[in-house]
Structure formats: structure tokens, C-alpha cells
Amino acid sequence: MPLTLKDIARMAGVAESTVSRAINNKPGVGEETRKRILEIVRKYNYQPNQLARGLAIKETRMLALIVADLSSADYKIIKSIEAYANEQGYNCLICNTDNNLEKEEAYLQLLSNQRVDGAIIIGGELANKNIINTALNKNGLMVLVNCLAEELLIPTILVDSARGGYLATSHLLQQGLKKIAIVTGSSKDFLESEKLAGYLQALADHNLELEERYILETDGSREGGYDAFLQLLEQGDLPEAFFVTRDILAVGLIDAIKMGGYLIPEDFSIVGYGESFISSIINPSLTVVAEPLEELGRYAAKYMIDLLNGRDPEEMIKVLEPVLKVGESSVLRTG
Amino acid sequence: MAKVTLTNVTKRYGDVVAVNNANLEIKDKEFLILVGPSGCGKTTTLRMVAGLEEITEGTIEIGDTVVNDIPPKDRDIAMVFQNYALYPHMDVYNNMAFGLKLRKFPKEEIDRRVNEAAEILGIKNLLDRKPKQLSGGQRQRVALGRAIVREPKVFLMDEPLSNLDAKLRVQMRTELSKLHDRLQTTMIYVTHDQVEAMTMGDRIVVMRDGLIQQVDTPLNLYNNPVNMFVAGFIGSPAMNFLDAKLVKEGETYYLEGNGDFKIAIPADKVAKNPEIKSYVGKDVVFGIRPEDLEDASVVEKTVTADNSYMATVEVVEPMGSEIYLYLTVNEHSMIARVDSHSTAKVGDNVKLYVKTENLHVFDPETELTII
């Protein structure tokens, strides 16, 4: 049975209120007594009962992390949010909605029913009725992560995907490469269109004319990446480099390049997107645009805790920039 | 473009009735304003039309379709609130387009809609700017643009201008009215500001405690309020209300205020509102707008005992083109909006001329208008 406040009080020979003050670093406890109490706390690894504590101060010390779709990227964000929240004395409840509005509504009711102190909404692309209504009715504090809102301003943390496309393309341009193809998923996918916009901007900034045939839109699959290379091969006008906007597309593209007997980066330089497990097992090691997922999670948790403490976040919309992590796939080694 | 019809619409939160049996027909292409004090149910009404709030009872139709069970995204509406998100890393084009992109609209269609909206809003030259390079008014236009590109049947706006400074708010009022003329789309606009309501709407719905009080054009609301609440809410400074008794001498009906005033009600007003006759000898409320009281010494009208009374000046507020006089007659206090030639000073006893053709009379119990 876990140790209670009462047990510690008995062991230390003090009142329960003294133990509480010592643990919560409140005044009114002598230094010696405090030391003695904290020693017992450490020795028995005492964990305050968050629920009881919440009832006492009308807080649950619990955050709902409402995730539209538990993808690998979200996993890193969630871990980072949880780490920061734990440091600040909050626990997290992970709620996966599978993009289902009814599930999401049920999870948001945790917030309106004050079963959690705040909700961090992760992914889902566009804030929907449930989120807008919760915000409008001031039914609880929310922070959006990688989710846009058309109607309302809700504290938001985002990664600038267009910037990622720009960084990838600029990196290849800096290698002296001019014929750069982009292999993307569906242009109807918002993030894919953002990456394409970054690619186009980088070309424009280097006064390079857009070559339509180097924009290869695929279904975003491994086969899509493979077929993209074959398509260029048939056209007979191969680029010098590729920016591939998804890890799995890169796998397919690299398969095709290798099957053709070409070398990376000698024949084609490649930059991928996303620092994922898949990217990490590609050979040669893939240069990637890495999204700062841990930072994203940390900001999300920090924003939420700021709001809970009655402070406005430093910026209502925080846009984080991805960084380029250079591997062996894009830089030709000399000597 | 569509009409919006509310039939017996009620919204309850537990025991609290937020909107009580609302019946309203908003015409196609109309600019309708919902106005009332905080908690009157105007925002709840708007949100029920939007589909953000479920309806407890009744039906809402957009066009000829009952939308009670249709989710907001399928209602062909666009909402504009005071706090909107402009994404700092996106240019104006993308800030207007992202909703369409996320809804998987074809690129050409997005291009057409964004360009058309930018043209209408006069921000075509700003499409490649980032939000931080825009002024407050330009940002507001981008937020409107985001709603316009959705080409909705109905625009729903909830106090969209309340975050702007006074000067910009006045400018944006005019722009929104012009925008409505250009778009020719039904707009429902919520505000607590009666000046905004009076200057923008084709018709105004005045609400109080969840009940629609009156639906009418701005001028009709001003001239013919149905009750004391509407009379007091519309117009600034607000209408003066003075306790009085209705007396009849000969063929003339008078509003008598405890020996302080005795104002004759014009015969034509009595003829138009014969119900007044049943109030003889009873308490009534005499309502007169500040602009219908004048300093008798500067008015070029025939001042008689029947259309004037004496009052003591407590405060003088010169506004330039006119003067606000804050006055008392025994326990009655009132405001008069008099000509700037008035020389009334604090402490003076002035004679006030009453434009009796504009006076109002209310029932003190029901607060309904008698005249």
C-alpha cells in the first residue's frame, strides 16, 4: 500500500499539515524538520496522490493530449509534452481520436467537465466544430499543435513545412546542383503543398526557372517513389538531385536509383523529409529535413502551463523551423 | 445566397433558457443585426445557425433545407469572430487559402477564389505579404477574405470589430456595409453596440433575456420602439423616462409629472393610439429622447405651458455642434441634446421645449408602448 501523508507525519513526529508544507516548499517549517520529512519522502519514494491534491485545490493536475492520429511523429511530440508536464507536476492522459469527431467530442468533455485542467490538441489539420465551440464557450484551456484554425485564435505551435522544403532545396542548390526534382505526395495534402511551395521559393530565390517535368506528384507510397524515377528515366532528362517529401517515398526512389545502377550521391544527390525510423535505415545515410518535434512538444506543454498559471504565451502562434541534418546522400565527398 | 428561417427555436442549458422560442425570417441577401446586452441570447442564436450549438427545440432552415442535424462544415456558412489567427509564416494568399487547401479544393479553384476575394477587399497587392507587414485594417480584411473564399450562403459575424480601435472600427463598419453590397450574400451580425447596429444593418433584431423584443429597420426601431427596453437600448444618449399620470382636460390628454410638468399629447397621436384613453387617471411613463428636448430660449417654435417645463441644469457637456445638458426636475433626472447656441449654465433653471410630436408613452407595468 502506498505511503500516505499521515504515515510520513507519524514517522517524522509532526502534524500532517507540516508534512504538506514541507513537501510543497511552503513556509512555516523549520529547516531541520523539513530535512527530516524530505528524507522520509525520498527514502520511501512518496508520491502525492494527485487526485486528492486536485480535489483539495480544485485542480486535477492532469492534461489531456488529444491526438488525431497516433503516428510516429506524434509519438515524439507526446513524449516531449509529457516530460515537460511531469517536471511541472502534471500528468498526461493520451486520447487517440482516429480523426473521429465523436471520440474527439467525448475527450473534449473531459475538459469541459473539469476532469482535466487543459487539453493539447495534436494534429488533425483543421480545428473543427468541437474545438471551436470549446474555445468559444471558454470551456477550458486548449493549445493546438500542428493544427490550424480558420475562425478563431487559439494558442498554437506549428512547424513551418514550407521552410523545410526551402531548406532542402537550398542545400542542394548550395552543392552547385541546378536540376533538382521534387517527389511529393498528393498536392491535395496541405503539408505536401507547403513543402512544394518552399521548393518553388528556393528556385525562385536562385533565379532558376521552374521545370514542370521535375515536379513529380505521386500517391505518397514506396511504389510512387519508385515509379517517379522510372518516369524521369523514360523522359530521358534526368535531374542531378531529388528532394523527396516523405520518408517512404525516398525508400522507393532510392530502390529505383540503385536498381538502375546509379550511385548516391555521385549520380544523384537526395534530401528526404522527416527524421524517422525509416529514414534512419536508408543507405547511404539520408540527408533529411528534421522537424523539431521535441521542441514542439516542450513549447506545447509550456504554453499550456503558462495558460494554467494565468499567463499569456509569449506568442499566440509559435512557428518552429525545421533544421537540415546532412547525411551522406547529398554531399559529394572530395579527396 | 439564401434566406435563413428560425421557427420556434429554443436553447436551454439545464434550467437556463438562453434563447426562448425565437421566430425569425432573415431574407436572402439581407444584412441582419442581432443586438442586445450581454447574456441576451444573440450569440447563442448565431451559433445555433452556425451549427456550433445544438437546438433544444424548433427548426432552423438555411435556404429550404432544415439544418438542425447538418454539421457546421456542411451548412455553407462562414464565421468571422473578433480573434482570428493569422499565421505569421504564411503570406496573405496562403492565410486566405489554407482552409480550402485542407478541404482539398483544386488549385485553380483556390486561385480563383483567393484572387476574387482579394479584389473585392482591395488587398490584391498584398497577397505575397506576411501578416506582420500589414496594418490592423488590412489584417481584418485578410480574416474576412478567409471567410469570403469559402463562398458561403450565409456569413455569420460575432462582434468582428470589437478588437479594433475606435477610428478603425468606424472605417471597417463602412467597409463591411460596402462588402455586403458587393457580395450580395446574407449576413447575420452580432453586436452589443447599438451604434454599430444602427449604422450597418438592413434590419435589427433586439434581444433581451433570450427573447426577441423587436425586429425592424433601424429607423423604425428608433421611432417606433415596441417597449421601454427597445426605446432605452436604441439611441445614444438613451431615451429619458419620466413617471407621469395621464389626465384629460376637455378634449386634451396630458402627461402630468407631480406638478413638475404637464405636457399635452398631440391630438393626432391620441387618434392613432386610442388605447391611451383607457389610461386616464393611471400612472404611465413619459418617454422623450434627448434630441427631442430643446432649450426653449433658442428654439424658433411657439413655446407654451403645454409643450415645455422648467428644469435645473446639473452638468453642461459641450460637444461642439451641440450641447448635452444633464438636468433634474425634483426627483426626475434627464438629458437634453440642445442647440450649441444655448447659453445654459450649471445651476440655471431653464425652460425645456418638448417636441411633443416625438414623445412616447409606456405602460409602467408591462413596459409596452402605448404611444
pLDDT at A321 (0 to 100) = 95
- Do residues A83 and A89 make contact, with C-beta atoms less than 8 angstroms apart? no
- Do residues B152 and B77 make contact, with C-beta atoms less than 8 angstroms apart? yes
* B90-115 confidence digits (pLDDT tens): 999 999 999 998 888 998 999 999 99
Question: Does pLDDT of A335 surpass 50?
Answer: no
Q: Which of A125, A126, A317 sits opposite B87 (nearest CB)?
A: A317
A-chain CB neighbours of B87 within 8 Å are 148, 158, 317, 319
- Do residues A19 and A37 make contact, with C-beta atoms less than 8 angstroms apart? yes
pLDDT tier for residue A329 given thresholds of 50, 70 and 90: very high
The share of chain B scoring above pLDDT 70, in percent, equals 100
- Do residues B306 and B265 make contact, with C-beta atoms less than 8 angstroms apart? no
When comparing pLDDT for B287 and A33, which is higher? B287
B-chain CB neighbours of A162 within 8 Å are 89-90
Written as nine digits, the cell of B219 is 429607423
Question: Does pLDDT of B41 surpass 90?
Answer: yes
> Coil, helix or strand for A151?
coil
* A284-293 confidence digits (pLDDT tens): 999 999 999 9
Q: Which of A129, A136, A163 sits opposite B71 (nearest CB)?
A: A129
Q: Which of A130, A142, A150, A205 to mutate to test the interface with B (most CBs of B within 10 A)?
A: A150
Written as nine digits, the cell of A282 is 536508408
- Looking at CA atoms only, how far is residue A149 from chain B in angstroms? 7
The share of chain A scoring above pLDDT 70, in percent, equals 93
* A131, closest residue in chain B (CA to CA): B52
- The H or E element spanning position B166 is helix B166-183
Q: What is the mean pLDDT of residues B60-78?
A: 92
Distances (CA, A) of A83 to A77, A79, A109, A243, B340: 10, 6, 24, 33, 69
- Domains, chain A, in order of start with CATH, read 5-48 (1.10.260.40), 56-154 (3.40.50.2300), 161-291 (3.40.50.2300)
Level-2 CATH architecture, domain B4-233: 3-Layer(aba) Sandwich (3.40)
Please indicate whether, in this complex, the C-beta atoms of B84 and A190 are within 8 angstroms of each other: no
B-chain CB neighbours of A191 within 8 Å are none
pLDDT at B96 (0 to 100) = 96
A-chain CB neighbours of B90 within 8 Å are 162
Written as nine digits, the cell of A264 is 548516391
pLDDT at A188 (0 to 100) = 74
Please indicate whether, in this complex, the C-beta atoms of A160 and B107 are within 8 angstroms of each other: no
* B156-179 confidence digits (pLDDT tens): 999 998 888 888 889 889 989 999
* B80, closest residue in chain A (CA to CA): A151
pLDDT at A73 (0 to 100) = 64
Q: How many CB atoms lie within 10 A of CB B211?
A: 16
Written as nine digits, the cell of B278 is 383607457
When comparing pLDDT for A108 and A71, which is higher? A108
Burial (CB count within 10 angstroms: exposed 0-12, middle 13-18, buried 19+), residue B350: buried
CA B4-B8-B9 angle, to 5 degrees, is 70
Question: Does pLDDT of A125 surpass 70?
Answer: yes
Written as nine digits, the cell of B229 is 427596453
Q: What is the mean pLDDT of residues A30-36?
A: 78
CA B134-B136-B138 angle, to 5 degrees, is 55
- Looking at CA atoms only, how far is residue A150 from chain B in angstroms? 7
Query: Where do you find CATH 3.40.50.300 in chain B?
Result: 4-233
* B47, closest residue in chain A (CA to CA): A133
pLDDT at B165 (0 to 100) = 86
pLDDT tier for residue B127 given thresholds of 50, 70 and 90: very high
Please indicate whether, in this complex, the C-beta atoms of A190 and B98 are within 8 angstroms of each other: yes
pLDDT tier for residue A187 given thresholds of 50, 70 and 90: confident
Q: What is the ipTM of this complex?
A: 0.77
A-chain CB neighbours of B108 within 8 Å are none
The model carries a pTM of 0.81
pLDDT at A55 (0 to 100) = 53
Q: What is the mean pLDDT of residues B337-366?
A: 95
Please indicate whether, in this complex, the C-beta atoms of A152 and B85 are within 8 angstroms of each other: yes
Q: Which of A151, A194, A317 to mutate to test the interface with B (most CBs of B within 10 A)?
A: A151
Please indicate whether, in this complex, the C-beta atoms of A162 and B146 are within 8 angstroms of each other: no
Question: Does pLDDT of A56 surpass 60?
Answer: no
Please indicate whether, in this complex, the C-beta atoms of B52 and A129 are within 8 angstroms of each other: yes
pLDDT at A10 (0 to 100) = 84
Question: Does pLDDT of B185 surpass 80?
Answer: yes
A-chain CB neighbours of B45 within 8 Å are none
* B223-279 confidence digits (pLDDT tens): 999 999 999 999 999 999 999 999 999 999 999 998 889 999 999 999 999 999 999
CB contact B117 to A (< 8 Å): no
Q: What is the mean pLDDT of residues A315-327?
A: 95
Name the residue with cell 413638475.
Answer: B260
Average pLDDT, chain B: 93
**CATH 2.40.50.140 given to domain B241-362:** yes
Residues in contact with B363: Cβ distance below 8 Å, sequence separation at least 6, in sequence order: B279, B284, B285, B369, B370
Q: What is the mean pLDDT of residues B308-336?
A: 93
Q: What is the mean pLDDT of residues A209-228?
A: 93
Please indicate whether, in this complex, the C-beta atoms of B102 and A151 are within 8 angstroms of each other: no
CB contact B104 to A (< 8 Å): yes
> Coil, helix or strand for B197?
helix
